[in-house]
Chains A and B, each alone.
Chain A
């Protein structure tokens, strides 16, 4: 029921087959780059094949070096490529091409509950969190709080 022991390279054919059949497939993302939204071990994301990639979609894509990544679209460039950024990051990743995109996140599952990407709370989070100055301030405050907690 989980992909935790398989690498994405192992299951990518199966993922593509399900997506091509217009189905949904759930994965358990690892890493910290989509914090505070997606927490490794707590959250799953459900993937679908996108018809059209929109700004602020979370997409699952493959880098030229073979790495599989789950990050958020911040911008579609005039040349048709995409600018990506993890929710906990501040350095943009440029030049991701449409053919590198495998899927988009259609919902997030957390402790048996479903977080729809159309829900008000999610949209508010995206609205706030994609404003870079706000993110920088919140990240700064977050780091300070973590630092102080460690000291205490």
Chain B
């Protein structure tokens, strides 16, 4: 799981969004809004962390059980795969 080159996180009106720059912005021209959990997952992906580490990070940040955290992780990762943003 690696974020493809060109995809970056930016702050827009107090909200985090993912946009594509350069060559990546030829195949992806949208903007993805991140909620707090998605932002945390994105930042972990940037550090190159794996699923277990990221789920641990969610658990240490939010008072949720592991199953829900894993669910959030899978949903977001699938969305990123669908949009061709991670490889």
- In the assembled complex, the Cα of A17 lies from the Cα of B35 at a distance in Å of 22
Q: Sort A-B residue pairs by CB-CB distance and give the 7 closest, nearest first.
A: A23-B25, A21-B21, A10-B13, A24-B29, A26-B29, A21-B22, A1-B30
Report B23-39 CB contacts with A as 1/0, cut-off 8 Å. Answer: 11110011110000000
Residues on A with beta carbons closer than 8 Å to the beta carbon of B59: none
Report B1-33 CB contacts with A as 1/0, cut-off 8 Å. Answer: 000001000101100010111111110011110
- State the CA gap A10–B25 with chains docked (Å): 19
Q: Find out whether the CB atom of B29 lies under 8 angstroms from the CB atom of A46.
A: yes
Interface residues of A (CB under 8 A from B): 1-3, 6-7, 10-11, 13-14, 17-18, 21-26, 46
* Cβ 8 A contact of B32, one of A1, A10, A21, A26: A1
Inter-chain contact total with CB atoms closer than 8 Å: 54
With A1-B32, A2-B31, A3-B31 known to touch, is A14 a contact of B26 (CB < 8 Å)? Answer: no
Cross-interface CB contact of B31 among A1, A7, A22, A46, cutoff 8 Å: A1
Given known contacts A1-B32, A2-B31, A3-B31, A24 and B26 CB-to-CB distance under 8 angstroms: yes
The total of chain B residues at the interface (CB under 8 A) is 17
| Residues of chain B lying within 8 A (CB to CB) of residue A23 | 6, 20-26, 29
A6 neighbours in B (Cβ, 8 Å): 12-13
| B19 and A18 contact, CB distance less than 8 A | yes
Q: Given A6-B12, A11-B12, list of 10 further CB < 8 A pairs?
A: A14-B12, A14-B17, A17-B21, A18-B19, A18-B25, A18-B29, A23-B21, A23-B22, A23-B29, A26-B29
Nearest residue (CB) in B for A3 is: B31
Given A21-B22, A22-B22, A11 and B29 contact (CB-CB distance below 8 Å) = no
A14 to B31, CA, bound (A): 10
Q: Does the CB pair A21–B25 fall under 8 Å?
A: yes
Q: Is the CB of B12 within 8 A of A10?
A: yes
Q: How far is the CB of B85 from chain A (nearest CB, A)?
A: 12
- Report B-chain residues with C-beta under 8 Å of the C-beta of A1: 30-32
With known contacts A6-B12, A6-B13, A11–B21 Cβ distance under 8 A:
no
Chain A residues contacting B21 (CB-CB under 8 Å) are: 17-18, 21, 23
* Bound-state Cα–Cα, A6 to B31, Å: 11
